[in-house]
Structure 1
Amino acid sequence: MAEEWKLNKHSNVPLHQQIYDVIKSRIMNGEWPVGTQIPTQRDLAAKFQVNRSTIVYALGELAADGLIESRVGQGTVIINNTWSLLAATPLPDWNQYVKSGSYQPNIHMIQQINRAEADASMIRLGTGELSPDLLPTNQMRETFSGRISSRFTLGYSEPKGSLYLREIISDHLKKKGIMASPASILIVSGGLQGLQLISLGLLHHGSSILVENPSYLNSIHVFQSAGMHLHGIPMDENGIRTEAIGRLKRQHRAALLYTIPAFHNPTGTLMSSDRRAELLQICAQERLPLIEDDVYGDLWLDTPSPLPLKASDKQGLVLYLGSMSKTLGPGLRIGWIVGPEPVIDRLSDIKMQTDYGSSSLSQHAVAEWLSSGLYENHLAQIRAELMRRRDFTLSLLEQYFHDIALWNTPQGGFYIWLCIKNPLSIRPLFEQALRESILLNPGNIYDRNDQQHLRLSYAYASYDQLESGLIRLAELIRLHAVS
């Protein structure tokens, strides 16, 4: 339980009074301004870990004081605070400002997931990051505490990022068959910022984007908030199906296509070499630019994955995204965009206007790891551990899910795309699992019509958590499935 909701159950002050004080404090100090809808009675009871009757008593006192009010269709909302009672003129309605912001809020289920991920007791069966146990924290500490090279600076870096790091990334990309000069590389604060810069710098309001269906982009609103429209293209076991791309491009006047060819999020699919060649050929014919998101590309398990699309790009069609978030640590916030130099110049100008450059400390750390061989050694260890985790998870699925679900065997990355055989409603399954401290990533956050899939990750939860969580998940699926 978060500290902010913790009650002192040994105090002489009654629990309902402590709850009253907590909520009133939030109202009075402006954290919950007038018009804010407070959590439901059930949510408050769970947060404070008390009976619902205790919550009802505390809310009754707040209502009697004129601070809250229950409204049909709106729940319980804040109607007054100290300042609104005293002020001669109305205070600004912050809720109207919030609703007026151009950036769309996350869908409610993703907001729930984001909040639940902060709970250390939660079994996170879908989380798309490495377990803290797999991150090289001690070695990274040595990087910062050891001798700092003369290239290190705490000042702002160049508009495109540290030249030293871009030179090292240029060499790193040659191993993937990508020939990119430092001038055609932009350092960004993770792959998500790369997408934000593209939406701000290259696309106009109302642009259409073709994406794989299901798609990671449906779970974030980086393009939708910029007024873009996403149009899904079906996938098969070899990746995005290419036969409809030309027709959909013309039908929707699509501005670009976004793809994750290596260990796709959320399905784990690896696009075959032949499919990559087809995709690049069709996009060249249609003059349709691509964003290739390769953040999982280094995480192959059985055999190295095919070369990136960018390696075969002879016409400057592909904007290539790479990142250290999935391999070295999400907290570093370092990624890169590779593309035609005029595009990179444009995006670097936008980046300078938004944050004046990524962390020089993180850029230095990534440069040290890539140049010293530490990164390749770390990757070898991570691949071996992810393979063990994948095989362990697959063995659990064989044992407990053989009659209720189907799944793929991923060749890399983090994800298993679990297909539940019998129809069910995803929301009740998600909610009950959450109440039992099991956090799921349902398929409908990647495709809103999908009530049949779950994204499982073997990268984050411990072995014990994977076992207990999946055993209970199988039981819950049987309870919620409609036979």
Structure 2
Amino acid sequence: MRNKKTAKLPKYKQIIEFIKEKIANGEWPIGSKIPSQRTLAKTFHVNRSTVITALEELMADGLIEGKMGKGTVVISNTWTLLAKNSAPDWEKYVAAGFQQPSQKTVQEINQSEANAELIQLSKGELSNEMFPLDLMKEMMGKVAQNMNAFGYEEPKGYFPLREALSRYLQTAGIHASPSSILIVSGALQALQLISMGLLQSGSTVFLDRPSYLYSLHVFQSAGMKLTGLQMDEEGLMPQTIRMTPNMRGRAILYTNPCFQNPTGMLMSQKRREEILAFSEQEQLSIIEDDIYRELWIDHPPPDPMKSDDKHGRVLYIGSFSKTLSPGLRIGWIVGPEPVIERLSDIKMQTDYGSSSLSQRVAAEWLTTGHYQKHLENVREQLKSRRNFVLKVLEAELEGLAAWNAPKGGFFIWLKILPSISLKSLYAKALSHGLLLNSGSIYAQDNGNYIRLSYAFASCEDLKKGIILLKRLIKTLSS
């Protein structure tokens, strides 16, 4: 960001030069909203008064202006004022795009998760402490030794990986040939392909409420409606689904049955059978998002609904992102061959296939048996972390919060008992170096909830974060 020329300037001048350079290079065209004062203050390690001084000078020069409800925007570009053609109004293009933007809070969380200085009390990812670095190097080394020139894979993905997944899925009772498996770049792409290729605008997506799916706009951007369903201690309640005659072929059920995100709930075997029976009766297809399945702690979970699917009604999604590494960007969809053919065609139109290198590395993990050994280690560490956090919660938040002990996965669904503003709690926590995911981004619209993750932060930071959370709750409730 800074070069030798600007590094010697006073801080407020560095900010001015930075903003001018962004405008001059066309990175921030006219109409663009510039970063907030708080963001600029953090970026340049200064207080907000220094940022305000810089912005006032840029305003005096006529380059930026504060606009009600929009923040501070670029209103002029003195470097191109004499140009024959004015710059395009990119703000109109941005607003016209069909993909809906994430919620403001979700955008801020996504950006803040890259800040290593924050205590990440909610992050849904395995800690670096659990990343099998040496084994990953070994797997990549084997792939490199056997590497030939490789180009695009076949539409459904690298065949040896699909063969390995076919064998692996049998351990969960799912019998799927390689031709019924599509390799995707993570579970999110699987959902995007389904929204693009199988459902029409105006369709209904039934789902758990709260759900991680509410923090995304995959289906809403395709013109579909999310209809939340009630859950009890056994999981999603199918009797709360209200099907109408015109929904046939225009509705689908999404569920995350194993250690649900964000509640950590595990769906019972009985409830899985009830949902599958309901889907067959009402001709309602199911998306079974099972990316947390292997992260059980106490006992293996019930078999997937897909294992009892005799009519090809269930689309089954899995991924290595939560169990091994999100950086691999490898997931899969299992479904009827005509559906997989359709989705593979759309994937080819989208990115012409997932990374060939990542697919080969993933195949190596599965075929050598190292993946199962790695999972055993991950489960041990998650158990230790979960038990540690439960003890800290009992010691620090008794009477201030309520929670259940999860049987696996990453998350504890923490209910804040005092009546406080969760927006204020989120903002105060962030200003103290603590990043939280509040329940509102998952459509939890009654009660104050926080998604707490015991998977990512170190045990030291987890304890420090919970103690800080206790202090902030007491401050806001006093």
Q: Which moves more between the two structures, 139-148 or 120-129?
A: 139-148
**Structure 1 position 333 matched with structure 2 position 329:** yes
**Structure 1 position 410 matched with structure 2 position 406:** yes
Shift of 1:249: 5.5
Sort the Cα spacing of 1:148 and 1:7 in 2 relative to 1 into closer, same or farther, 3 A: closer
- SS of the aligned residue for 2:81 comes to helix
Contact 2:290 2:318 in 1 (8 A): yes
Q: Distance in 2 between matches of 1:194 and 1:50?
A: 43
Shift of 1:463: 0.7
Q: Distance in 1 between matches of 2:299 and 2:94?
A: 48
Shift of 1:232: 0.2
Residue equivalent to 1:20: 16
Unmatched runs of 5 consecutive residues or more in structure 1? none
Contact 1:207 1:229 in 2 (8 A): yes
Shift of 1:150: 5.4
Q: Which structure 2 residues correspond to residues 26-175 of structure 1 after superposition, within 5 A? A: 26-146=22-142, 154-175=150-171
TM-score normalised by the chain length of structure 2: 0.96
Q: Which structure 2 residues correspond to residues 209-224 of structure 1 after superposition, within 5 A? A: 209-224=205-220
Cα deviation code 1:137-170 (max 9, x no counterpart): 2211111223657586622111101111111101
Contact 1:128 1:460 in 2 (8 A): yes
Name which of 268, 271, 288 aligns with 1:275.
Answer: 271
Residue equivalent to 2:313: 317
Sort the Cα spacing of 1:252 and 1:48 in 2 relative to 1 into closer, same or farther, 3 A: farther
TM-score normalised by the chain length of structure 1: 0.95
Cα deviation code 1:179-200 (max 9, x no counterpart): 1111111111110000000001
- SS of the aligned residue for 1:266 comes to coil
What amino acid does structure 2 have at the position aligned with 1:130? Answer: L
Residue equivalent to 1:388: 384
**Structure 1 position 230 matched with structure 2 position 226:** yes
**Structure 1 position 439 matched with structure 2 position 435:** yes
Q: Distance in 2 between matches of 1:280 and 1:131?
A: 35
Name which of 346, 356, 362 aligns with 1:360.
Answer: 356
What amino acid does structure 2 have at the position aligned with 1:169? Answer: L
Segments of 4+ moved more than 6 angstroms:
none
Q: Distance in 2 between matches of 1:221 and 1:47?
A: 29
Shift of 1:32: 1.2
Shift of 1:225: 1.0
Shift of 1:45: 2.7
Sort the Cα spacing of 1:75 and 1:203 in 2 relative to 1 into closer, same or farther, 3 A: same
Q: Distance in 2 between matches of 1:29 and 1:215?
A: 41
**Structure 1 position 302 matched with structure 2 position 322:** no
Residue equivalent to 2:416: 420
- SS of the aligned residue for 1:263 comes to coil
- SS of the aligned residue for 2:239 comes to coil
**Structure 1 position 378 matched with structure 2 position 374:** yes
Name which of 192, 197, 200 aligns with 1:196.
Answer: 192
- SS of the aligned residue for 2:238 comes to coil
Cα deviation code 1:410-452 (max 9, x no counterpart): 1111000001112221111111111111111110000152451
Sort the Cα spacing of 1:16 and 1:137 in 2 relative to 1 into closer, same or farther, 3 A: same
What amino acid does structure 2 have at the position aligned with 1:416? Answer: I
Q: Distance in 2 between matches of 1:128 and 1:244?
A: 29
What amino acid does structure 1 have at the position aligned with 2:235? Answer: G
Residue equivalent to 1:472: 468
Q: Distance in 1 between matches of 2:388 and 2:160?
A: 41
Q: CA RMSD in A?
A: 2.0
Q: Distance in 2 between matches of 1:380 and 1:36?
A: 49
Q: Distance in 1 between matches of 2:476 and 2:321?
A: 35
- SS of the aligned residue for 2:123 comes to coil
What amino acid does structure 2 have at the position aligned with 1:46? Answer: K
Q: Distance in 1 between matches of 2:157 and 2:262?
A: 30
Residue equivalent to 1:345: 341
Contact 1:210 1:249 in 2 (8 A): no
Alignment coverage as a number of residue pairs: 477
Q: Distance in 2 between matches of 1:287 and 1:281?
A: 10
